[in-house]
Amino acid sequence: MLLAVERLHAHYGKSHILHGVNLAVEEGSIVSLLGRNGSGRSTTLKTMMGIVRATEGSVVLEGCELTGLRPFEVARAGLGYVPEERLVFPNLTVEENLQMGLQPPRDGNAPWTTGDMYRYFPRLEERRHNKAGTLSGGEQQMLTICRSLLGNPRVLLIDEPTEGLAPKIVEVVMEVILDIRKRGLAVVLVEQKLTIALKVAEKVFVMGHGEIVFEGTPDELRGRPDIRRDWLEVS
């Protein structure tokens, strides 16, 4: 198992947000983390990254305990993170933003390069000398994904990558996620659009009230209308 999260708890002040989250990610797989807004999906990713402090439990990547590490230490250990907020450096150019993400390659893995990023997203190459703050929302999403990939992570955590994007851009982003899996990179995907999440994932975890309420394959979830009704559908 490449990444194992066990009995993960987290709080915001006195509010208990995560209640013993367990999930596992195999090498080269895509896992979708589903649930309604407020179910704890984004907090799970932030706790795995050390942005939110875990109050109990463990996050283990290739035998390395990440719980208690600072976010930059978690990133150096091999977790990449694409936040929903698309946190680009607005006063730096596209090229400079990409350079900020560069980390040495990991043993036995071919490094990601800026050339790879421009092949994925030619629009970024066209605008490589433009400041990131002038990019559209879709372009900023592309840039954030690319900057995270250049850190050469073993697992990429992606929070709502298609939120607010035009359908054509959504299609491109999903193609990139499927392609990076071919290079052995595992992905944990938080995605509100159920059709997309089920299309790209080998395994799905459904969250409700800060804990995992279902674990299985996309086909198994399709066969559970009760889970979809109780934990995913908006009435």
In sequence order, which ranges of 112-211 are alpha helices (DSSP H)?
114-120, 122-126, 137-149, 167-182, 194-200
Pairing type for strands 3-12 and 15-25 reads antiparallel
The pLDDT-based confidence of 140 (bands split at 50, 70, 90) is: very high
- Within a domain: 225: yes
- Within a domain: 110: no
Residue 86: predicted pLDDT: 83
Number of domains observed in the structure of the chain: 1
d(CA 90, CA 100): 13
pLDDT beyond 90 at 234: no
Cβ atoms of residues 138 and 162 within 8 Å: no
Residue 119: predicted pLDDT: 94
Q: How many CA atoms within 13 Å lie on the side-chain side of 83?
A: 10
- Within a domain: 19: yes
pLDDT tens for each residue of 104-116: 887 767 889 999 9
- Within a domain: 12: yes
Residue 76: predicted pLDDT: 93
Quick check: helix, strand or coil at residue 119? helix
Least confident of 14-23, 30-39, 100-109, 167-176: 100-109
- Within a domain: 130: no
- Within a domain: 22: yes
Residue 97: predicted pLDDT: 97
- Within a domain: 132: no
- Within a domain: 83: yes
pLDDT tens for each residue of 41-66: 999 999 999 999 999 999 999 999 99
Q: Residue 181 is part of a domain; what is its CATH number?
A: 3.40.50.300
The pLDDT-based confidence of 235 (bands split at 50, 70, 90) is: low
d(CA 204, CA 95): 35
Mean pLDDT over each residue of the chain, to the nearest integer: 94
Range of the domain at 212: 3-87+153-232
Q: Which residues contact 36 (CB under 8 A, 6 or more apart)?
A: 208, 231, 232, 234
Q: How many CB atoms lie within 10 A of CB 11?
A: 16
pLDDT tens for each residue of 148-168: 999 999 999 999 998 888 888
